[in-house]
Structure 1
């Protein structure tokens, strides 16, 4: 029996193989008696035989443009061990490049070796690099909880920073060091960003599987251009394989908060020129390791947790880094820039003293940059807006060696005398907060805008408060379901797309979900049109059919695709006014009576929502009042936000002794 016969796959994996959503697979399972029988798992998370699934998909025309990679990956997962599957992917990459390559990891099992052979054959047929990148990405996704990787946009930004800040000759090539390279994200980004003549990479990784994958990845990069690479499996702090080697640039995303980093055996190490790192400060050991390998004028850019900037145990080393002019800048990144995603990580930019007549004088300050505000709006999870973030950071660093150039807002040049106090805290937010406070002129403008909001709010309140709203009068109503049957409107339900987000290509439209409504109402994804997905056009009424986010509004602007539990209602303008319909539907009592059960997570039966039965001319009167209520609601929200901002600004100003009268 082939190993393929015993490979289990979940509904989600079947959906990925067939290129459809999981709901479609569940539908196939219900409708087709011939669908493969469950071989394991649970009723909620069943598992099926990959061989039987593949045969069923082929027999029913469900496999169209899906390559063999999707069918291959579940078998790598079946190897079980993270290390063995990682080594197998790396070994497959070597065999894809050369069928004569010998097995470099003899510890691989017979099953893994068989898989390596099949993967190599598939890679040579479908493209070695694409196949390897696919397998590597799936491996990283499968073991994401056990690994800490550097996202490509952050790796690219770190490379650009280093190339911008480094001093010395620029025309004799580049030597790059990464002593904790993982799967090679930083090295790959540097190879792509650097366009000079010679590129040499020195990398180290203590995890054998990660080192093997990094080596395989960089071999593909080296195919595009002449790159000399040396990747070693070793613990760079305990057994530095590059002793004496010097680099123009060092990039590193080291492991955080590791107590067992070699404190005892490395107590007298010559790399600690700024002081022996305390046992609780392994990150400062990595910083000094990087500095020991820099050429004069060379730059190190390292990702660090924010606590390293302020912990008491590390203040002496931070002080030495500042006094010697080595620590040139600290950048606070937005949450979500890298793992752990909930933390605002920092980039430390360190530069070895340059030599020669063109070397700048010793610095008397450090540049502190607070970029935490560059999170991407409209996303459920923290995610930076990499384009604007990168532009801001590079603009700020352009002022690094130019005292006459003013850094942008949220970046400040802090004199060393102010930093070298009892704490030696280099957290950017501590120094940029005062720089970002509004000036008296800006504060006066905010008060004026707040006053205008209150005036508009009072005008709307005056109009609404005098309306003669009768109570207890029985009005005739109908339901959305009846209006659909009568042809007064059409109802379309949103659905889950096949993929979470679509690539930005083709006819893509924003994808709005209930989670987006709970965040800030801005779409967070994209969907390629043409798949029959429900799309709200301008003038359609959109309804959120779940109690916790229940609302209805008339869509304005470009088309937007709708996710699950969102509905688009398109009215016949000769029978219904869209604003009248939206106003009737969004009444809280309407949502409660149409809810499936009394909880915040209950769904709303859209067809049961009530609508007043009124002639079209009478609907227009109601529609105008509904518009005023919406405007009043928006003004209340804006006034609340503006008022909160003024309270914060005024409190800070007064607490700093800013009262002059």
Structure 2
């Protein structure tokens, strides 16, 4: 019989350990080390094939050696006593992977395996397997090799865990089943929020292979279970999986209408993913949420997974069905909680972000709990699912950055509300105030620190008068100023590296905004710029923005620059005429200009806007969603004078630091090369 060979990577995977552990086993238990240690210590098996770079080992020899190494117990695990048990168990599962070509198809292997786990034996000779494809339908016997693997697997792990393990292997079987499955962290969160469903009526509107449904505690004791899945293969697998888990009362339908007019205490749904390009479709993700609430009993709850773009689209002149559905859910009091899930929570849709809606039957709108689980998950050592569950259950005090209740309608004039046509994403709403900050005290502390560090500026700092506002200022989104024509957004352009030179117009991109390159190092010749007819040059006073992983801004004092994407610019429409009147000596009231460059730049990168980032792969802040306070032109003029002087002083200090850095670097270089001698002159 031909022996099975495994690599070191295979041993790592099959024994469920890290690669360093396998390397350590081989090094510490080599034949030489074992002989030196004496005492009959068993040596790690020697390679029987492969190369020095990728040695191959006899699988049975490795399993016998691993039998001597006890494995730690895992709560809820299969109870493997040794790493050898784990290793052999992994080999059995891998056997299913190799069988898919011999049996006929991946779908047949998976369906047969789950049918065996469900106990769907027709007679003693074979198993009647329900297959979704018409050419294969009609009861097909299970291959004896699949039967052997599953018999051993079920004996060790039980039918439920065996069925789950087979589905977890689907990606290695080149199946697309995992691509649509609800991610494991999401199903654990839904299970924690929903609690036990024993004695309740449960509906899953988009069940797939049952990940979210089977995460509900007490499902096997539920009063009634209805699952809907349009795909024939997934519907078949779901039936078998429910039986394998001991859920005999589950009914699986192609369409909900087949089940009559059900009413549920718990509804879950993970609708098919829809990209933002589908926002104007008549039926979108939020329509699934509306469908879910129509099925709820009086005290029922629904848990629906939606992409975050359904929550961020603003209401405008041409808003589509998505915004209308969101407004209906809010105005009718259906939305109880919005949980923004951590970035990259879906292993196959890493560029998409998701949110979980907790919904209830219609009632007078109450404040909605907004939870930013992405922010919670970024904290070291924090179990975000547990913390979100505590927040939703009301067992913890609100954390302004992580969760807070926001009213649907204004409680008094000027207060925040969700029905204002703006994004309702928690990352955007919870970023508004800087939490726990007494601003006046912080400003006065900063002024005292500056006076202590820069004694020569004490006189000027004393002239900076700061006081508490009697009424907290209101804010407007940049989108409103853009629509009104008060600001103009300048987009950056993608310019080929071959067109970047050292002469011509200054180019400002990500590197210049981050300080990695000095402004002016990169340029583009005028003749090269003609290849980019949509490229615009900046004017003096334009504010340049980089909104990736926070907000960085600077004022272009000279103009004539070309912006490289992702850098953007903002132009104050009234600034050019205001400066022209000043230059011509016309009488100008400083209060006539509603906003000024340095003030705009600093306001945009204030903490209020810094924390509005979203995006799964690159965290960006939407320029249109940024806030600007409504203040008078006179106050803006005062702030501009102070901020301009502050910026001038900062530039002066930077020049001093750069000069000292250069001196230190040159002294060190000369000493290192043995070219200079350094001493202090005697005074």
- Asked if the contact 1:247/1:295 (under 8 Å) is kept, the reply is yes
Q: 1:221 to 1:131 in 2, by over 3 A?
A: closer
Change beyond 3 A, Cα 1:9–1:15: same
2:169 counterpart (138, 155, 168) = 138
Mapping of 1:194-593 within 5 angstroms? Answer: 198-222=222-246, 228-232=249-253, 234=254, 236=255, 240-257=257-274, 278-279=280-281, 282-311=284-313, 312-313=319-320, 314-339=322-347, 340-341=349-350, 343-353=352-362, 362-363=364-365, 366-378=368-380, 385-395=384-394, 410-416=403-409, 418-421=417-420, 423=421, 425-434=423-432, 436-438=433-435, 441=438, 444-445=441-442, 448=445
Question: Aligned pair in 2 of structure 1 residues 443, 19: CA closer, same or farther (>3 Å)?
Answer: same
CA displacement at 1:59 relative to structure 2 = 6.7
CA distance 1:217–1:431, shift in 2 (3 Å): same
More relative contact order, 1 or 2 (CA 8 Å, 6+ apart): 1
Task: Summarize the Cα distance change of 1:220–1:420 in structure 2 as closer, same or farther, 3 Å threshold.
Answer: same
Match of 2:129 among 98, 104, 127: 104
Separation (CA, whole Å) in 2 of partners of 1:33 and 1:408: 55
Q: How much has 1:122 moved relative to structure 2?
A: 0.8
Q: For residues 158 and 446 of structure 2, what CA distance do their matches in structure 1 show?
A: 60
User: Which of 154, 163, 185 lines up with 2:186 in the alignment?
Assistant: 154
CA distance in 2, matches of 1:378, 1:71: 36
Deviation at 1:28, TM superposition (A): 6.2
Distance 1:217 1:457 in 2: 71
- TM-score between the two structures when normalised by the length of structure 1: 0.51
Q: Which residue of 2 aligns with 1:77?
A: 97
Is the CA contact 2:11–2:22 (under 8 Å) kept in the aligned structure 1?
Answer: yes
Q: Which of the residues 108, 114, 124 maps onto 2:144?
A: 114
* Cα drift, residue 175 of structure 1: 0.9
Q: Deviations over 1:490-523 (max 9, x none)?
A: xxxxxxxxxxxxxxxxxxxxxxxxxxxxxxxxxx
Instruction: Indicate which of 593, 600, 606 corresponds to 1:648.
Output: 606
Moved more, 153-162 or 85-94: 153-162
TM-score by length of 2: 0.50
Q: Is residue 35 of structure 1 aligned with residue 25 of structure 2?
A: no
Q: For residues 62 and 650 of structure 1, do their structure 2 counterparts lie closer, same or farther at Cα, with a shift above 3 Å needed?
A: closer
- Indicate conservation of the 8 Å contact 2:303/2:356, yes or no: yes
Provide the rounded CA distance (Å) in 2 between the counterparts of 1:122 and 1:75: 12
Unaligned runs of 5+ in 2: 32-43, 70-81, 314-318, 411-416, 456-601, 611-625, 639-683
Q: Secondary structure at the match of 2:393?
A: helix
Pairwise CA distance, 1:302? 0.5
1:141 and 1:390 map into 2 onto residues whose CA distance is 33
| Deviation sequence 1:627-661 (CA, Å, 0-9, x none) | xxxxxxxxxxxxxxxxx999724888994247989
Task: Report the Cα distance in structure 2 between the residues aligned to 1:12 and 1:428, rounded to whole angstroms.
Answer: 42
Structure 1 residue 411, shift from structure 2 partner: 1.6
Cross-structure match for 1:13: 10
Q: Cα RMSD over matched residues?
A: 5.0
Which residue of 1 is the match for residue 62 of structure 2? 57
1:154 to 1:69, Cα distance in 2 relative to 1, 3 A: same
Q: Distance in 1 between matches of 2:447 and 2:233?
A: 59
Instruction: Pick which of 62-71 and 249-258 moved more.
Output: 62-71
Following TM superposition, by how much is the alpha carbon of 1:58 offset from its aligned partner in structure 2, in angstroms? 5.1
